[in-house]
Amino acid sequence: MKFFFPDSQDLVSPTYDFIHDEYSPLRVRQRDDRYAHEVLNEPAYDGVLVSKAVVDGSVQGAGKYSMPQRQRIYRMGVRAFFRLPEGTATMGDCGSFTYANEPEPPYRIAEVLDFYEECGFDAGVSVDHVILGYSKSGEAVPDDWYRRQQMTLECAQKYLDETRARNSSVQPIGAAQGWDPASYAESVAALQGMGYQRIALGGMIALRTPDIVDCLSAIDDIRSIDSSLHLLGISRIDNFDTFKSLGVTSFDSTSAFRQAFMDERDNYHTVDTTFAAIRVPQVEGNVTLKRAILSGRVRQADAVAGERDALVALREFDSGRIGMATALDSVLAYERLVIGPKKKSYADQYRRTLEAAPWRTCRCGLCADYGIEIAVFRGTERNKRRGFHNLATLRRKIAMKLERVKQ
């Protein structure tokens, strides 16, 4: 089971100053900043997934890449651009969620294959049009769902024809869309009939795990023995043994990374559990606190002092110079300034995090280098490092899960 990490140009600066919260004046982002696979002690993923919409933009506007970055990935190729370790797989797709509301995909087949070939991807997914819905009742579904499924299959045939005409080195992956187990199975059967041996299942991100399993089971009834499946945007690690038994050999997801800074509480992952990161927002960067200062509820001097005291206390705790209770008191004093007296405190979650201090025993490399900073919810440099740690943890959990399946 291979894990692909979808790229969105997430990097960290090795020279970032955590004490003063500032970048080096000599920093050059494209030269100095590092990807997860460059700063972790262990593999974070088996491959990277890069969407054309992220690089080149789509109907919604520019992508995540600046013009110089876009020029570099085309000039250098995906492997050199990301400075990938040997053996790391690369996959391209179109990023269909970026144009989900359009009547049809904005890309021509030839230009998508041009993107894959010029950037040197190992494999590329055919152009698809995501179906934003799922039917469990067997009732009639919108005509647009049928139209999108048919459009996706037509694009898959044209894409496969184009790869064959060019004798392309890019392995073709057929995209399958559906709205229930039967329609997904129909799509996979059609793709196999075209000659695809690797098939990516799209549009499943919002589905409950039992619904995904139902779809995979229906697909398994018609799946050729030499066909393998990729789950687009799906992790659900607790079900990997089931997924694997039903033909899934790879998946991609940003969930573990994004939970580091998007989830309310499950920010720091271990193989056994999750912890809440300790929120110490910057006075100048927190909208709620700035409003409180402008309204006169909080004095700016008190906010600055509270922020400083919380950070110092956490570092003193991590070095063993003060106890957990003292550090927690400082954090909660600042929390009261930030959220006010009426909102719910994170006190219980923070106490659990500090008592466990999971970063002290983590072997990802980042935790040993940065200590408690990795568990502080504050700014992109800390939050992305914690996200990278979560990726390494996910990769470790996958390996453990698959090892148990073998036994």
Q: Is 252 a catalytic residue?
A: yes
Distance CA 369, CA 390 (A): 15
Q: Is 266 a catalytic residue?
A: no
Residue 5 Rama label (left phi>0; alpha psi -120 to 50; beta):
beta
Write down the catalytic residue from 7, 56, 93, 128: 93
Write down the catalytic residue from 33, 180, 252, 318: 252
| Residues noted as catalytic | 93, 252
